């Protein structure tokens, strides 16, 4: 059987200019993916026009109708046909404008792309004009016609029969409910970006959502609860940090972050804004994961609504057609600022700071330095319940020259017992409002839990988890004070790397030395490790170096060594903490409660599990049907 003859190759096609219709439809493939994409572009135009009231009407999940009406500045009659042309915009005019974008939209492609795959009608009355005008366009021929119309100041854009002329695209759309849910998520992102704007959403002639303008912090918090759910805001802390560093001047981070105990199985409750634009960025995600690393249960995700404000010239938003990604001029600076702010916010949460339902937590105002050894609170103090706390300097101290051993930990715990086996003093006769945040111990349950009473009701504490966190924080502080001690390798370890990794190691040689790694370059694709951190001398040194270089290449910094060190300390703290079925006296239990109130991250153990819960009196009354 003979094979068919190959057909001759066709002659090269001549280069020709694409038609306006085909160009717009190609652009529509990037900008208009589904109804939610149309809603996003139209809402961003309304916000850029200065609107403070926006009404959104949808039918059939946006496939049949999308109508967005605003009270913004409007469009002049002569500009209406131009508004439907590609690369026509009033938002930028020069390269300088492109390098410091302050508007949400700027490409001038949205309306042209939308009109190429739908039946579009734009009605607008510009500010200061007494007449409104209307322009229509259909995807078939892209021709437009202008006619007078009745309209108040502002603009209405009506998009009907999306993808009516591109049936292949329409086949990829999902069910009406799915498309509406995607639109709803787009609206939520923009609702959280502009508290000064009211939004009304109607679907199939029924009002489904209304967001009122917000002026006060309480009103903003209510909007966040409306979008993210009341459970989020009840388990979140408000933060506000303004950088005081000269290199970071002008940067501000504010918003709400969830307590570590309020975590998610997916990263589905995370909103991050840069100068009002919602983004998803690897650098931002990495900084936030680092901040939660020490307190989040494994495989869980934090929830947050955060706003980063900085000089527009420091960020490039023109790197993706849908503008979901940005590029920071100094990515390492941004990463360090985000990590520092969030790390301190989570560290400073004490039991007294946990928000109660219906209350608005006060935001932090500045990044405070890490507490030094003399400022930390002791693990235990053998005084009476009302006695002031002593400092670590007077408590059994760790040897700062080396990390504490298991024997040292056991000796320390034994020393605590000697001073704590005294008869329990009487509780101070104070009003319930003056009780400490975690109250006073009542009893021990099954040798595992401490039961305590505070002003709100009942506190239940997992004594092992709580003591584990206190021991861990003490050990970390001792290790931080001593710094990273390194030891030379008897035989230097040669590692084969890529040229890019070798260049990175050479450039960051000083940084690696601070991490306890002495690395020399032996060739274009070869490195030699001469020194490693003492605490990690049994670790896979080669893999550790590769991981550190990977972080330096991607983020400009690395916490691999700190993470490995903290993991080892966490294991030691776990084995050195009080175990289940160990009977504690009332003074011991109260000493543990007081230390929890003064220890960073005491709401979670080293593995991210909660250390205590609160059952208030109304919750207890509800359990027993009191008052019903």
263-313 pLDDT, tens per residue?
A: 888 999 999 999 999 998 888 999 999 999 888 887 889 999 999 999 888
Residue 379 confidence (pLDDT) above 70? no
Give 569 or 244, the one with higher predicted confidence: 569
Whether 589 and 443 have beta carbons less than 8 Å apart is answered as: no
The more confident residue out of 362 and 434 is 434
Quote the domain boundaries for residue 176: 20-209
Residue 66, C-beta contacts closer than 8 angstroms, at least 6 positions apart: 35, 38, 39, 42, 56, 57, 58, 158, 159, 162
pLDDT number for residue 397 = 34
| More confident of the two residues 143 and 277 | 277
**pLDDT value of position 4:** 52
Asked if 400 and 527 sit in the same domain, the reply is no
pLDDT band, very low/low/confident/very high, at 161 (cuts 50, 70, 90): very high
Classify residue 369: in a domain, yes or no. no
Percent of the chain with pLDDT over 90: 45
- For residue 310, tell me if it sits in a domain: yes
| Domain contains 324 | yes
- What is the three-state SS of 478-535? HHHHHCCCEEEEEEEEEEECCHHHHHHHHHCHHHHHHCCCEEEEEECCEEEEEEEEHH
Looking at residue 12, what is its pLDDT? 62
Tell me if residue 125 falls in helix, strand or coil. Answer: strand
Q: How many CB atoms lie within 10 A of CB 157?
A: 25
* Mean pLDDT to the nearest integer, 321-347: 85
**What values do phi and psi take at 145, rounded to 5?**
-135, 145
pLDDT at 408 over 90: no
Q: What are phi and psi of 297, to 5 degrees?
A: -60, 140
Residue 549 lies in a domain: yes
For residues 116 and 28, the answer to whether their CB atoms sit within 8 Å is: yes
Q: How much is the pLDDT for 6?
A: 52
pLDDT tier at 25 (50, 70, 90 boundaries)? low
Q: Give every CB contact of residue 291 below 8 A, 6+ residues apart in sequence.
A: 338, 339, 342, 343, 345, 346
- Of the pLDDT bands very low, low, confident and very high (cuts 50, 70, 90), residue 370 is very low
Among the candidates 559, 594, 611, a domain finishes at 559
CATH of residue 548's domain is 3.30.1370.100
pLDDT for 303 equals: 96
Tell me how many domains the chain contains: 4
Element (H, E) at 120: strand 119-125
Structure tokens at 17: 């200019």
Lowest mean pLDDT among 34-38, 103-107, 215-219: 103-107
Is the pLDDT at 250 greater than 90? The verdict is no
Same domain flag for 70 and 191: yes
- The CATH code of the domain that includes 281 is 3.30.230.10
Pairwise pLDDT comparison (76 vs 414), residue with the higher score? 76
Indicate whether 370 belongs to any domain: no
d(CA 105, CA 109): 9
Of the listed ranges 13-17, 36-40, 493-497, the least confidently predicted one is 13-17
Contact status, residue 229 vs residue 265, Cβ threshold 8 Å: no
CA-based torsion, 227, 232, 238, 243: positive or negative: negative
Mean pLDDT of the chain: 81
Can you tell me the mean pLDDT for 122-126? 95
Tell me, what's the pLDDT at 249? 64
pLDDT at residue 492, rounded to an integer: 92
Report the candidate in 336, 341, 339, 580 with the shortest Cα–Cα distance to residue 446: 580
Averaged pLDDT for residues 2-26: 63
With beta carbons less than 8 A apart as the criterion, state whether 296 and 605 touch.
Answer: no
pLDDT at 385: 28
Phi/psi of residue 533, nearest 5 degrees: -65, 140
Of 209, 241, 265, the one marking the end of a domain is: 209
Q: For strands 270-274 and 304-309, give the pairing.
A: parallel
- At 274 the pLDDT is 93
Instruction: Give the integer Cα–Cα distance in Å for 460 and 441.
Output: 10
pLDDT band at 74 (very low <50, low <70, confident <90, very high): very high
Looking at the structure, tell me whether residues 80 and 197 fall in a common domain.
yes
The enclosing domain of 590 has a CATH number of 3.30.1540.20
Whether residue 578 is found in the same domain as residue 441: yes
- Say if residue 244 is in the same domain as residue 123: no
Residue matched to tokens 């990794």: 501
Sign of the alpha-carbon dihedral angle for 557, 298, 448, 600: positive
**Looking at the structure, do residues 535 and 608 belong to the same domain, yes or no?**
no
* Residue 7 lies inside a defined structural domain of this protein: no
**How far is residue 626's CA from residue 516's CA, in Å, rounded to a whole number?**
61
- Identify the domain boundary among 518, 534, 559: 559
| Same domain (yes/no): 332, 448 | no
Supply the CATH number for residue 178's domain.
3.30.565.10
How far is residue 346's CA from residue 405's CA, in Å, rounded to a whole number?
28
For the segment 245-251, the average pLDDT, to the nearest whole number, is 66
Identify the pLDDT of residue 537: 74
Pair 201, 72 in one domain: yes
pTM of the model: 0.75
Highest mean pLDDT pick, 128-132, 352-356, 384-388, 576-580? 128-132
- pLDDT band of residue 390 (cuts 50, 70, 90) is very low
Same domain, 31 and 162: yes
Residue 34 is assigned to a structural domain of this protein: yes
Which range is least confidently modeled, 99-108, 160-169, 189-198? 99-108
If asked whether residues 151 and 52 sit together in one domain, one would say: yes
- Tell me whether residue 148 is exposed, middle or buried, using C-beta atoms within 10 angstroms of its C-beta: 0 to 12, 13 to 18, 19 or more: exposed
Are 196 and 228 members of one domain? no
* pLDDT, position 422: 42
- Which residue has tokens 């990273």? 484
The pLDDT of residue 321: 62
Residues 532 and 584 in one domain: no
pLDDT top residue among 514 and 130: 130
Cβ atoms of residues 43 and 191 within 8 Å: no
Say which residue, 71 or 312, is predicted with more confidence. Answer: 71
Q: Is residue 77 part of a domain?
A: yes
400 vs 384, more confident: 400
């Amino acid at each position: 059987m003979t094979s068919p003859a190959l057909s001759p190759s066709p002659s090269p096609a001549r280069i020709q200019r694409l038609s306006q219709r085909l160009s717009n439809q190609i652009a529509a493939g990037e900008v208009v993916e589904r109804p939610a994409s149309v809603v996003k572009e139209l809402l961003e135009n309304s916000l850029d026009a200065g609107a403070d009231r926006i009404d959104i009407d949808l039918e059939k999940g946006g496939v049949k109708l999308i109508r967005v009406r605003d009270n913004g500045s409007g469009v002049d009659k002569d500009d209406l046909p131009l508004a439907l042309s590609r690369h026509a915009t009033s938002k930028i005019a020069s390269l300088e404008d492109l390098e410091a974008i302050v508007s949400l939209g700027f490409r001038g492609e949205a309306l042209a792309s939308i009109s190429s795959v739908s039946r579009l009608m734009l009605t607008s009355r510009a500010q200061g004009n007494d007449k409104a005008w209307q322009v229509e366009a259909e995807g078939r021929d892209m021709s437009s016609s202008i006619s007078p119309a009745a309209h108040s100041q502002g603009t209405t854009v009506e998009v009907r029969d999306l993808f009516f002329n591109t049936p292949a695209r329409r086949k990829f759309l999902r069910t009406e409910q799915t498309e509406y849910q995607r639109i709803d998520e787009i609206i939520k992102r923009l609702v959280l970006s502009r508290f000064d704007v009211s939004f009304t959403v109607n679907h199939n002639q029924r009002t489904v959502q209304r967001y009122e303008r917000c002026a006060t912090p309480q009103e903003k918090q209510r909007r966040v609860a409306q979008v993210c759910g009341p459970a989020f805001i009840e388990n979140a802390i408000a933060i506000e940090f303004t950088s005081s560093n000269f290199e970071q001047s002008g940067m501000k981070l504010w918003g709400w972050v969830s307590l570590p105990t309020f975590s998610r199985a997916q990263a589905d409750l995370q909103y991050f804004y840069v100068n009002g634009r919602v983004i998803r960025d690897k650098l931002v995600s990495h900084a936030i994961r680092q901040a939660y690393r020490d307190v989040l249960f494994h495989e869980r995700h934090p929830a947050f609504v955060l706003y980063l404000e900085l000089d527009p010239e420091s960020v490039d938003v023109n790197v993706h057609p849908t503008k979901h990604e940005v590029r920071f001029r100094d990515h390492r600076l941004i990463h360090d600022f985000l990590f520092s702010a969030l790390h301190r916010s989570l560290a400073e949460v004490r039991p007294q700071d946990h928000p109660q339902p219906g209350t608005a937590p006060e935001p932090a105002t500045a990044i405070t330095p890490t507490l030094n050894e003399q400022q930390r609170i002791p693990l235990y103090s053998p005084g009476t319940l009302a006695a002031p706390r002593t400092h670590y300097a007077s408590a059994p101290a760790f040897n700062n020259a080396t990390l504490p051993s298991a024997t040292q930990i056991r000796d320390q715990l034994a020393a605590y017992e000697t001073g704590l086996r005294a008869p329990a003093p009487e509780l101070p006769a104070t009003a319930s409002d003056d009780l400490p945040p975690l109250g006073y111990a009542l009893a021990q349950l099954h040798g595992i839990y401490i039961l305590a009473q505070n002003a709100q009701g009942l506190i239940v504490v997992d004594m092992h988890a709580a003591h584990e966190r206190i021991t861990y924080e003490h050990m970390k502080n001792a290790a931080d004070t001593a710094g990273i001690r390194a030891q030379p390798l008897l035989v230097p370890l040669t590692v084969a790397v890529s040229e890019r990794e070798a260049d990175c190691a050479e450039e960051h040689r000083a940084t690696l030395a601070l991490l306890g790694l002495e690395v020399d370059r032996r060739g274009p694709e070869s490195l030699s490790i001469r020194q490693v951190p003492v605490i990690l001398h049994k670790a896979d040194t080669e893999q550790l170096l590769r991981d550190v270089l990977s972080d330096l290449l991607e983020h400009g910094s690395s916490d691999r060594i700190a993470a490995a060190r903290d993991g080892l300390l966490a294991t030691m703290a776990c084995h050195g903490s009080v175990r289940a079925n160990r009977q504690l006296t009332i003074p011991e239990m109260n000493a543990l409660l007081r230390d929890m109130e003064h220890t960073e991250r005491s709401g979670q153990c080293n593995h991210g599990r909660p250390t205590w819960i609160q059952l208030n009196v109304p919750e207890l009354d509800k359990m027993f049907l009191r008052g019903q």
